[in-house]
Structure 1
């Protein structure tokens, strides 16, 4: 077993900065930094027409969205995990490996999210590749004991190494952490494309302000609500809950595509009744069957809370992104906790 969170590469050089503080109720800048136009929004920030763009590959949707915002039109950004695919146990194909050999930048979350990164990087011969571990400098949360036990049980007897580590990887779901991840991506793009520094920094500053605004909206709308507990499909909302004083009860552990046994189901139903939980949250990329069963047994309703691990092609075509989905999540939380 291995963890991928211990190193971050900017080209062949590893770097480590001190942890960044982000005051949630105020709006200080993290550092002078970066962000970009959303894919398909028609904005042009960056290279002149005809200039060769750098090639950026992101691991899954949130990393793709952040990288696209930072890069603007100075880069061609692609996403390894296809739309609508749950990313936790996704594996790169031969075609993906070939793309990485030709890429200038790889952006991944780290913190145990992408179990394949360490071995994949060892097998690449692309010595120009700038590798950005976006979660570097984020204060990571430890997984619950229950999630760790489930993780070990889930992979018992498997001949593959899918260790997600002991930390909760879903750090992008706190806007303050999203800003740190964008900052790290900005630095990686500057490493790969120094001529674009001014563009990347200007873009980051734009989207960092949006993170601060989103963070303020969450605080303002959630702090006075009577409900403080949410029941969710899997243990993905720890950072969001920690930031805003909520508690999550997860139907399953760190992975979203498994199902609880009868005893666990009964415990959750009892918890829902005892804590007067009104809503069971499911996710776009997993079946709502278990959530619906718990809701029927407890008298709750079922709604969606999106962990932004991946969006459907329809959502992407409709122009949804990290910020619009996070605001939809806020609407759902406010309604459930009122």
Structure 2
């Protein structure tokens, strides 16, 4: 029997739990072996939804676990949807770690489609982070966008692409949030494999020190800059802005493929000119066309601000990781905000 795979999984076309259950039963007879899925028989298998979660699981799990990441290098997570073999791999693992906060809109149906006797453990690693509402500012930083409105740039958030939930899912872009997420991964790994808890805790201590230093550098260095406004193509830096006292003005919404209105661009251009913004930030995994257009209109330059959603193949080959990406982000932020 030839297996037919689900090619796309879009909002409004989500498979039901019943269909998922039937799909996984069919997949069991498709002849997919453990090697092809990346799973191993002699280690605890941990499946992660995308790179930041993979980084945490790999750093804390170390040699004691086999970590399989669903999204390959160079793929923008907002554009990715799981195929049936991805779901089949996750169902056979011992632990599934995902971001949560509305990022992975396929998880709920997947979990409902698991067999009743499934022993798969799951964890949303963003648990415990105070989430930013997608429809407005976080109450602890409710003035964050007000300055932009007063200077001619209205909140582009109202045009944001809708995620599965009502919150900004980009929790990992703040090192302070990653500290919370790392603790959640440590607890999930220790619960799933208590025999290696001491190893996990030792690895976590090393990672925690790296993330704490990163958080400290962001806090001290960004706290010293006078310019607090950052103009970005993708509204992915809300948690970074909230945690380190910045004001994010985004051209597009929470999804990088959300189309801005012409009026939005005009108002952001006015804001850039009125506030002496010298750099427009763009991302490596999405088109820089809008950033370049705005830069030409305003006389600004462009710089990369990486949301650390994934590594390019070149970055992967060079040995980059979440921390090195965020260190370069800090360097670029300081260059733009001096």
- In the alignment of these two chains, the number of paired residues is 282
The answer (yes or no) to whether the contact 2:156–2:264 under 8 Å persists in 1 is no
Q: Distance in 2 between matches of 1:96 and 1:148?
A: 32
Give me the whole-angstrom Cα distance separating, in 2, the residues matched to 1:165 and 1:233: 22
CA contact (8 A) 1:259 1:290 kept: no
Please say if 1:131 is aligned against 2:131: no
Q: 27, 46, 49: which one pairs with 1:59?
A: 49
Task: State the distance in 2 between where 1:52 and 1:182 align.
Answer: 25
Cα shift at 1:111:
0.5
| Residue of structure 2 equivalent to 1:99 | 89
3-state SS of 2:59 partner: helix
Structure 1 equivalent of residue 192 of structure 2: 192
Q: CA deviation at 1:320?
A: 0.6
Q: Distance in 2 between matches of 1:192 and 1:299?
A: 54
Alignment match, 2:267: 267
**Matched residues in 1 for 2:231 and 2:207: separation?**
30
CA distance in 2, matches of 1:107, 1:148: 28
Change (3 A) 1:176 1:287: same
CA distance in 2, matches of 1:264, 1:148: 11
Gaps of 5+ in 2: 1-10, 13-39, 137-154
Shift of residue 89 of structure 1?
Answer: 4.6
Q: Which residue of 2 aligns with 1:83?
A: 73
Equivalent-residue separation in structure 2 for 1:297 and 1:51 (angstroms): 57
**Distance in 2 between the 1:76 and 1:314 partners?**
23
Once superposed, what is the RMSD of the aligned Cα atoms?
Answer: 1.9
TM-score, with normalisation over the residues of structure 1?
Answer: 0.80
Q: How does 1:74-223 map to 2 (within 5 A)?
A: 74-125=64-115, 127-145=118-136, 146=155, 149-151=158-160, 154=161, 163-223=163-223
Q: Which has the larger radius of gyration?
A: 2
| Structure 1 position 73 matched with structure 2 position 82 | no
Compare the two structures and name the one with the higher helix fraction. Answer: 2
Report if aligned partners of 1:170, 1:239 keep a CA contact under 8 Å in 2.
Answer: yes
List per-residue Cα deviations over 1:164-215 (Å, max 9, x = no partner): 3221111112212101111111111112211011011111122112111111
The alpha-carbon deviation at position 246 of structure 1 amounts to: 0.6
The 3-state SS of whatever aligns with 1:81 is coil
Deviations 1:52-74 (A, max 9, x none): 21111110111111111010011
Select the structure with the greater relative contact order (CA < 8 A; seq sep ≥ 6).
1
Rounded to whole Å, the distance in 2 between the matches of 1:288 and 1:84 is 15
Structure 1 residue matching 2:68: 3-state secondary structure: strand
Q: CA deviation at 1:88?
A: 2.2
Q: Gaps spanning 5+ residues in structure 1: where? A: 3-49, 156-162
Deviation, structure 1 residue 51: 8.9
| Aligned partners of 1:130 and 1:191 also within 8 Å | no
Aligned to 1:307: 307
For 1:293 and 1:67, the matched residues in 2 are separated by: 39
